[in-house]
Structure 1
């Protein structure tokens, strides 16, 4: 037995340690060191460039840290805790399994803090009050299994680790961490973000790993037929696409090259199988800044991210602690640079010094969500950890095949990409040609980070682009060629909301000045109001929906995330000289253009917009060209086929 393994196995409450098995390897890393609590991610004690001291650091990042991005979170005081490594050893998995405690950890009491019926009611309220009122596309609401134990935390997490190593498959990290007051053991399937240096090019590659869509293995055992049916489920497919969109927003913020989508792939575990993508790009940012700009995964929060945090604060009963935060391992490269590996803290059990045990689990709620099914999903996600805790008996499931290798599965996965934007599936290179090259744009961020993807696509055309928060844009006559009024959550008629009121002011003044304007989603609705069109709430929100449209003579497959819509009809005609692209049945206005402006309800920057790049270029060019062009003689209408 190694020295450090012996000390970990006989640890007292004041001896900090971490035991990590990564990527299903046959070895396990053990760490101990000094505990340092800091206030902000930038304070994580990494060595400075040129310093001879470059410690490895394992950081426990609580959910409340999302306030660094200005987002809402209940404050439970969970510390941003760093284990500054002073000693590390590697042992074989077999030796660790032989040495870890194998006796059960007795629990007292036990049950979910939110009942099945109450959780189903929360699901209904979120769909009606949040998604149904335009607050976002999807939200993750958690509940927790809680119990107590008299077993010391440092021993409990090692016993749970033993059970997880034997009972769970497919985990990205399987781990136990103990520090005074905070201990945890888990088997997380999902890497949130990683930064690695390419040994050939020297580039620092950022990778994210959105996982969504949950296939619960039947008791009889999972088959290829079952899984192919799951892959064809609209709700599960849209759920994955929406989180890919949200993480691509983050990739566009941290990577100069945007991000490329790889996949989809299959993540098969003992009781569940998920679908996933990998996103990759390059960045020169400090690894701590990469982590800050990507707090936190939409798979455990929702989208748009800022509003998702507000929805969580409204509907969850208490603070999250470390659930949906990350474990972040910063590994020095020896030249002042660091690599980062940061899995999401899900499928994890927590225990404090008083013996309170918590196992949080959440479900992604979308417009298609069935309350009963979402209740079952939270139970299924907690099941692997609850089995390791001895709360549930090991599932007696029939034999399960390698689902990814089953006939037809690869083709079904590949077919998903036929609906996605080629721009995000390929390496992205600037194409500074045409009328947009050399022009300038200011994008008004209305609290939806789709603006980062918009900026990346406009830069692709050769434009110089700046993104500014709506509260910082006061003068619509700002000295740029094109003002892009961006998307955001909420009701475009609610002028009591300062953000919406500012959009109305900017759009109105820009129109009056005759200065080029492009309006997207919420701002498209604001523009429609300014032009005299009514706004109505859709009977069924179009969150993560694709529509095949005729936009001014060009057929375009576009992704939508809207709850409200502008409508054209006989009772409400827009200002003369405005072209509309509408639905001939409902009158929904999908796009508008006139002298010096253009707008679109959909998200041309979304991965769901297969033809979005072309349409974005066309609308932006129209807005810029319209300054000098004569006004059309009359309005014309094109509509979706």
Structure 2
């Protein structure tokens, strides 16, 4: 419904003490939510119904510390899972609302980053060397905070910044202000983390950051960014990571569309859309997708550990979500729709201190000084929008009418050369994830069972989805919970990928060695992937070595037993044989009988790096056949399973 006069309502919000939220997400209106605040401990405690069981609307601010619900580590600052239980919602005209909001600039005192540029660059170097360089993951996001003092009434500051963001930040998914006792959050998030409506789940991975040069972006400068290998692979890696989440919550695994440009005031990002079907409670969907790899890293569990090692202070709400649960009137299935943007590009005000957290995605190609610049660009995107620093004026395209207003100039995404560069990215990707998916139980291995052992990389959810497409009845078991009975009962065991050094003596590595060893000893069908491939190779007497340059998010075309295959690699260690070595023989004794076992080796002809192995009842692959980077992933997976079965 249409609400009251905006100027009257804004006056009441400024002079009152009750909590409220303002949300702009459709381009024409501002939603005003008022009600009571309830802090809860767990996502399942979010109060979606009242005492009578009647569904109600709730806006929840979900802090980063909620990753503890998934068993992940973090610096726990006790930031509350804060719920605004909505008593009243009104819809205001956006233009009229903007005109009613305060506009006087808010002065900042003692402004600057909490971590100096040189110190942050050193952190980047350590993460690349000590984490990515030692196999702990493919990419990690490490934050720093822009901080300043603010000597203005908090409500005035919140509504002033909200107006500035509405006027000067474009391309935001949500522009919002959430005002509760002792805490204010005002932001323009470019990224929808997850939404669920009418059984359709959507995720929106955004990555790759183009900082607009002075005067604004042009087709030429944007094209240079789109040709960057580092920026392209960064986006592919986060799409892979979010597909892991989609495969965990959606029956059809998730389909990707894009890429698109997300153009904002000072930055342009690249993005994909992922969609799938799910009948889960939206709180469960939110739990299984905590949190976006674009603001944490991958694999997710290890990313949290790395963040805890290299960030010395808690994150608060940064990289969490603002989750709006809205009753949908359904009598069956989920009773609420979910809309949850990531809490980035957000300013927080607590006890007179402004905090704008920003982070850079660190990958094997990262340049420390470039990542320092990225944090400056992201902070400037917020600070420029709220008027704390000068705002840029966009540059006009070369063929634009110089007298035309900025609003009438052709968007860069419509430039033919830009559109072609974007579309060309999909030539590298696996058709499997670009097409509609819904496993129907048929397939070449229908009637067989598969057990996937998770070694703390949820690529296993994507693997399981592919296995179901091949007809296998598949379940996933965590390495710490798998039993010998589980291993012995399955027709096929897939020993999964995971982070870390395969030569370690950790409990996880010992458990994965046991999985591989038990299946081999029984002569039972085994497929080993990435980390488990290295463990299998080690059991065959093949050397394991660290790569000189990690292959995190690297696409290569390799020979897999006589057939070329384009595969995505996420490895820091490799099994290695002498160049030209294509077979390994072993004599195995069982009682008084000895057997000669011959293992076929698919390896690089120059380096000897082993890409795949196969022998009696077993096979392995170093690459991730489930990755979007594996154009020939399904074909290769089917070949290897056919061999072991």
TM-score by length of 2: 0.93
Matched, 1:117 2:118: yes
Structure 2 SS opposite 1:577: strand
1:531 pairs with one of 532, 540, 543: 540
- Confirm or deny: 8 A CA contact 1:8 1:17 kept in the other structure: no
2:490 alignment partner, one of 465, 480, 499: 480
1:21 corresponds to which of 24, 31, 51: 24
Residue matched to 2:359:
362
Give the C-alpha shift of residue 392 in structure 1: 1.3
Structure 2 equivalent of residue 601 of structure 1 = 622
1:457 has 2:466 as partner: yes
- Aligned pair partner of 1:408 in 417, 431, 436: 417
How far apart, in 2, do the equivalents of 1:405 and 1:434 lie? 42
Give the corresponding residue for 1:236. Answer: 231
Instruction: Give the secondary structure class of the aligned counterpart of 1:408.
Output: helix
Structure 1 CA distance for aligned equivalents of residues 184 and 224 of structure 2: 40
Q: Aligned runs of 1:473-622 on 2, under 5 Å?
A: 473-475=482-484, 477-495=487-505, 497-569=506-578, 573=584, 575=586, 576-622=597-643
Write out aligned runs for 1:25-424 (5 A): 25-47=27-49, 53-197=54-198, 204-336=199-331, 337-352=335-350, 354-399=351-396, 402-424=411-433
Q: 8 Å contact 1:533–1:574 — kept in the other structure?
A: no
Q: CA deviation at 1:150?
A: 2.2
Q: Distance in 1 between matches of 2:487 and 2:56?
A: 50
Deviation at 1:398, TM superposition (A): 3.0
Aligned to 1:637: none
Alpha-carbon offset, residue 84 of structure 1: 0.5
Name the CA distance, whole Å, in 1 between partners of 2:125 and 2:556: 26
C-alpha root-mean-square deviation of aligned residues, in Å?
A: 1.7
CA distance in 1, matches of 2:33, 2:117: 39
Question: 1:190, CA displacement in angstroms?
Answer: 0.4
Give SS of 1:53's match. coil
> 1: CA distance between counterparts of 2:470 and 2:455?
23
Q: Which moved more, 1:72-81 or 1:571-580?
A: 571-580
Deviation of 1:434 after TM superposition, in Å, equals: 5.6
CA deviations over 1:430-489 (Å, ceiling 9, x no partner): 365565111101111000000000000000111111100000113174311011110000
Q: Is the Cα–Cα contact under 8 Å of residues 149 and 352 in structure 2 kept in the other structure?
A: yes
What SS does structure 2 have at the residue aligned with 1:36? strand
Alignment-derived partner of residue 638 in structure 1: none
C-alpha spacing 1:4/1:73, structure 2 compared with 1 (3 Å): farther
- Give the SS at the match of 2:489: coil
- For structure 2, which runs of at least 5 residues remain unmatched after alignment? 398-409, 587-596
Distance 1:159 1:574, change over 3 A: farther
Unaligned runs of 5+ in 1: 198-203, 625-641
Task: Give secondary structure in 2 for the equivalent of 1:141.
Answer: strand
Secondary structure (helix, strand or coil) at the match of 2:413 reads: helix
Residue 108 of structure 1 and its aligned partner are, at CA, apart by 1.7
Distance in 2, Cα, partners of 1:52 & 1:555: 58
Q: Structure 1 residue 14: deviation in Å?
A: 3.5
Distance in 2 of aligned mates of 1:464 and 1:9: 61
> 1:606-625 CA distances to partner (integer Å, 9 max, x unpaired)?
0110000111111112111x
Residues 442 and 469, structure 2, Cα contact 8 Å, conserved in 1: no
Question: Per the alignment, in what secondary structure is the counterpart of residue 358 of structure 2?
Answer: strand
Provide the C-alpha distance between the structure 1 equivalents of 2:325 and 2:305, rounded to a whole number of angstroms.
30
Distance change in 2, residues 1:284/1:431 (3 Å):
closer
Contact 1:133–1:490 at 8 Å: present in 2 too?
A: yes
SS of residue in 1 equivalent to 2:480: helix
CA distance in 2, matches of 1:232, 1:533: 38
Q: Once structures 1 and 2 are overlaid, which stretch shifts more, 473-482 or 307-316?
A: 473-482
Select between 584-593 and 500-509 the one with higher mean Cα deviation.
Answer: 500-509
Could you give the per-residue CA deviations for residues 102-123 of structure 1, whole angstroms, max 9, x where no partner exists? Answer: 1122222111011111111111
Within 2, Cα distance between the matches of 1:614 and 1:91?
54
1: CA distance between counterparts of 2:66 and 2:608?
Answer: 44
Distance in 1 of aligned mates of 2:150 and 2:276: 45
